[in-house]
Amino acid sequence: MKKKFLGLCLLACLVMGAIGCPSKDNPASPSNDTPTFSPTRTSTSTATATVTGTLPTFTATFTATDSPTYTTTSTATETATETFTMTPTATVCTAASIQTTYTFESSPDCWHVDAGNAIIVDSGLSTVQKHGGSSSYSVTINNGTGSAANAQIDLTYATPQDLSGASVTIWYYMDASLAGANMQIAEQNTGCSWDALWINTPATDAWTSVVFSPSTSPCSNASTPDNVNQLVIQLTNVPAGAHGRLYVDDITIVLPAGPTATPTYTLTPNPNYTWNFENNALHNTADATDSWAQATDTGFISGVPFVTAPTVSNGSSYCMAVPVTFTAQNQLAGAILSFATPIDVSALTGIRAKMYLDSAAIPSDCYAGGVIQVGDGANYPESSWQNLTAGAWVQLDYPMSSWGAFTKTNLTMIKCIANTGGSGTFTSFSGTGNVEIDDVELY
């Protein structure tokens, strides 16, 4: 019976074939349906059981996992470049009254760029340069016109203001890149039209103060010369291609306590330091050796001084006159006094003189000016420009405190100069006259 059962089992094994019957002597070999797993970094295996007959069959299912890809993106670094942008035209502020201090800490206080100034490309408060406090008022100048041009800022009053006897102090800082320009501080007036303090060579790269006193002398064409419409700070003859900034700060206007009479000067009794030409000569009574003569430096037109009665009375019987025929802007005329033996003026405080310019000598639109120059053999400083009102005597004053580097024990020369300035229409102009000088005094 046992043998019969074994035979049936063997027959069944033959029928089933490779499904696999156990061998008596050897263990069963793995079925081909059973997968062999070789794991990789990017795949995972999930086994799914499928039942066939009585034996399980395992089928491997592989799910691919994407590996992330990293792409490097370059970020450009922006390089800052200074640009100059025209400031949009704003409504011009007008001052209702005289403000005695302008510090420009929070507002331009009605100071603005003059209309038509094409070479000013930007304006406003600046912290780059300041004299006091945290900011100043600045204008950026870029002269791309191809020729010299003017740059101007103004303070305009809603109604004319009386600055009789006032003193206007302005601190300015001009970039060295604007060197070659001239400067004038001026006031527009209902009578005189233009009254200016001329600075022939403004300082650069340093805060510098200037003091302007509006003229109190009556104009030839008005009886109320001190009704001021506008205060002006102007750079004239800015060189072609010049590019830089002008800063102003701490502007003060000091008004007199009450009406101030036109100042008068009493001449020093010392005749060594006075030239009033009352002796009808070009020298003074104490020194017949040193006499006034024609100034012949570059830019001066010819004109030999002589003594004459003043064209317009100034209280003197005689004055010195230099005949002139001006034909162009920026022409000079004047007289020089050279000392054979230098004078020690260290105990004195300054020099002053009176100057007169004939109305017939310049066009009506010419704004001439006068200066005093002194020398010590090495240094030759000159006073600030004082506007000359044609047909009227004007007082020039040069305090010694403004002479700068100067050997006061060695005064070698004095020069009185008239300049036609940078305006005026000389085309087809024909006129002659005198530059008259009087009451030259070291005081």
Q: How confident is the model at residue 91 (pLDDT cuts 50, 70, 90)?
A: low
Is the pLDDT score of 80 beyond 70? no
Residue with tokens 């006068």: 370
Q: How confident is the model at residue 147 (pLDDT cuts 50, 70, 90)?
A: very high
Is the pLDDT score of 214 beyond 50? yes
Q: How confident is the model at residue 410 (pLDDT cuts 50, 70, 90)?
A: very high
Is the pLDDT score of 408 beyond 80? yes
Rounded CA separation 3/247 (Å): 126
Number of helices (H), then strands (E), in the chain: 1, 24
Is the pLDDT score of 256 beyond 90? no
Token couple for 279:
């002796």
Q: How confident is the model at residue 415 (pLDDT cuts 50, 70, 90)?
A: very high
Of 117, 248, 239, the residue nearest 173 (C-alpha): 248
pLDDT of the residue at 267: 44
Cα–Cα–Cα angle for 266, 351, 349, rounded to 5 degrees: 90
Rounded CA separation 347/440 (Å): 18
Q: Which residue has the higher pLDDT, 119 or 260?
A: 119
Cα–Cα–Cα angle for 198, 204, 207, rounded to 5 degrees: 90
Minimum mean pLDDT range among 107-121, 189-203, 318-332, 372-386 = 189-203
Rounded CA separation 322/434 (Å): 5
Minimum mean pLDDT range among 1-5, 40-44, 215-219, 314-318 = 40-44
Q: How confident is the model at residue 193 (pLDDT cuts 50, 70, 90)?
A: low
Q: What is the pLDDT of residues 14-60, one digit of tens each?
A: 444 444 444 444 444 344 444 444 444 444 444 444 444 444 444 44
* Residue type present at position 330: N
Rounded CA separation 366/160 (Å): 24
pLDDT of the residue at 176: 96
The greatest distance separating any two alpha carbons of the chain, rounded to the nearest whole angstrom, comes to: 178
N- to C-terminal Cα separation, the chain: 162
Contact 225, 193 (CB under 8 A): no
Most confident of 164-168, 291-295, 422-426: 291-295
For the chain, list the domains and their CATH numbers: 101-254 (2.60.120.260), 271-442 (2.60.120.260)
Q: How far is CA 297 from the centre of its chain?
A: 31
pTM strictly above 0.75:
no
Mean pLDDT of 99-108: 92
pLDDT of the residue at 14: 46
Is the pLDDT score of 317 beyond 70? yes
Contact 204, 376 (CB under 8 A): no
| CA quadruple 191, 194, 198, 202: dihedral sign | positive
Beta bridge partners of 149: 238
Mean pLDDT of 382-400: 89
Of 372, 362, 376, 357, the residue nearest 424 (C-alpha): 362
Q: Which phi and psi (to 5°) does residue 14 adopt?
A: -65, -40
